Amino acid sequence: MKKNKKLLVAIELTLLALILATFVFCLVAQLTSPEASYAVWVKENIWDVQGTIASLKAHVPTLIKSIITIVIIYAACRLLRMFFNAKMKKSNRTKTVFDLLDGFVKYGCAIAIILTILKACGVDTTALIASVGVLTLVVGLGAQPLIEDIIAGIFIIFENEYNVGEIISINDFRGTVIEIGIRSTKLLDAAGNIKIINNSAIGDVVNLSRENSLAVVDCDFPYDVPLEVLENALEKNFGKIKQSIPAIIDGPFYKGVCAYKDSNVTVKIVAQCKEEDRFQVERDLNREYRKIITALGIDIAYPQVVLNYPAEKQEFNPSGKKAEKFVDQQEELSKGLEEQQE
């Protein structure tokens, strides 16, 4: 790599030296001996230095005016973009809108500078702009997907479907919105992958950040443990669980038995949290549940070969009324919550 870089640098320096030497030769030839045959040949075949200087002198006012115009346009563009970047920090909504406006300003500045340069070169920009209507029609017939992307992006912004920083699901791809451009939307998933989706191709959108999400865990325990024992233990520990998991907004709630498996009974526990915290809250709930049943001496049943059966079996003395009261309270507290994430 280093050898290649050195070679490129050497080639660039050689070309620069040749160009500089040619410029000096043409300048000296035409200024010192303008009537000489070699000077005439240089003037006709390489470069007419005197003609170029005269042309520059004739167009100095136009060049200065064009340079000033370009500087003003560029400065205005930079100030607007700095303003947008400063305002973007306030909220996801303003960041989304200003991202779109920043794109329009950037492209508008480029077009204005190009038109200014063309006008300085003597091109009739008025006629050029007038012909843009016909050109737009011709290009539009072949660039319908591009136009659809732009229109769809504008509707996404102004209908406030989602903003930068929110977690959404588009066509079963879940990720955080990192950019909403004129043509496309960029999503970043948990693995660090960036998916770029054309705005016109966005179909089903699920915005997961506007409302609280539901962390759902299915917890197993063996058949030989009475249900009331587990329910009483959950009632005692739910307050501690909420304190140990600060990301929980409301809950946790016990939803009851949801399945009977080959070796275990499954109960469902849910809690409200933000979407960005959902997976971690689910993992923490599983951890806390495991700690609760381990403290009771309960283990989840699993396939095994029993060589001997214990002479004594642990006896449980459940408080049935207390468990029933806990179940009724949980049903009332969690009324209206649906298990959206299965």
Starting at the edge strand found earlier in the chain, the sheet holding 213-222 runs 213-222, 264-273, 250-260
Q: What is the pLDDT of residue 283?
A: 92
**Alpha carbon 320 to chain centroid, angstroms:** 52
Q: What is the pLDDT of residue 55?
A: 63
Is residue 203's pLDDT more than 70?
Answer: yes
Q: C-alpha distances in angstroms, 155 versus 106, 161, 180, 182, 311?
A: 20, 9, 11, 11, 72
| CA Rg value for the chain | 37
Q: Please state the pTM of the whole predicted model.
A: 0.53
Per-residue pLDDT at 87: 60
* Sign for the pseudo-dihedral over CA of 26, 29, 34, 36: negative
The larger pLDDT score, comparing residue 340 to residue 126, is at: 126
Q: Burial of 199 by CB count in 10 Å (0-12 exposed, 13-18 middle, 19+ buried)?
A: buried
Yes or no: say if 166 and 176 are a contact pair by the CB < 8 Å rule. yes
How far apart are alpha carbons 33 and 39 in whole angstroms?
Answer: 7
Taking a C-beta distance cutoff of 8 angstroms, is the pair 299, 222 a contact? yes
Collapse the DSSP code of 259 into the 3-class scheme (helix H, G, I; strand E, B; otherwise coil) and give the result. Answer: strand
Q: Are 260 and 214 in contact (CB under 8 A)?
A: no
**CA–CA separation, 225 and 147 (whole Å):** 64
Which of the residue ranges 49-58, 85-94, 171-180, 181-190 would you say has the lowest mean pLDDT? 85-94
Return d(Cα 186, Cα 341) in angstroms, integer: 24
Per-residue pLDDT band at 1 (split at 50, 70, 90): low
> 337 is written with which tokens?
């919550």
Q: What is the pLDDT of residue 128?
A: 58
pLDDT of residue 135: 53
Tokens 């290009």 map to which residue?
A: 139
Query: Which domains can be identified in the chain, with CATH numbers?
Result: 2-90+103-128 (no CATH), 153-207 (2.30.30.60), 213-301+314-333 (3.30.70.100)
pLDDT over 70 at 218, yes or no:
yes
165: left (phi over 0), alpha (psi -120 to 50) or beta: left
Q: Read off the DSSP letter of residue 301.
A: -
Q: For residue 289, which of 213, 212, 330, 231 has the smallest C-alpha distance?
A: 231
Residue 245 has pLDDT above 60, yes or no: yes
- With tokens 């500087």, the residue in question is 71
CA 5 to chain centre: 35
Nearest to 334 by CA among 274, 268, 277: 268
Nearest 5°: the CA angle 114, 116, 118 is: 70
Half-sphere exposure of 255 (CA within 13 A, CB side): 22
Instruction: Report the distance separating Cα 208 and Cα 223, nearest Å.
Output: 37
Q: State mean pLDDT over 63-76.
A: 73
CB–CB of 278/341 below 8 Å?
A: yes
The predicted model gives 207-229 an average pLDDT of 86
Structure tokens that stand for 177 in this block: 């919105």
pLDDT (0 to 100) of residue 161: 78
In this prediction, residue 337 carries a pLDDT of 75
pLDDT of 274 above 60: yes
**Residue of higher predicted confidence among 225 and 154:** 225
* CA gap 314, 224 in Å, rounded: 10
Taking the CB of residue 25, how many other CB atoms lie within 10 A of it? Answer: 14
Residue 48 has pLDDT above 80, yes or no: no
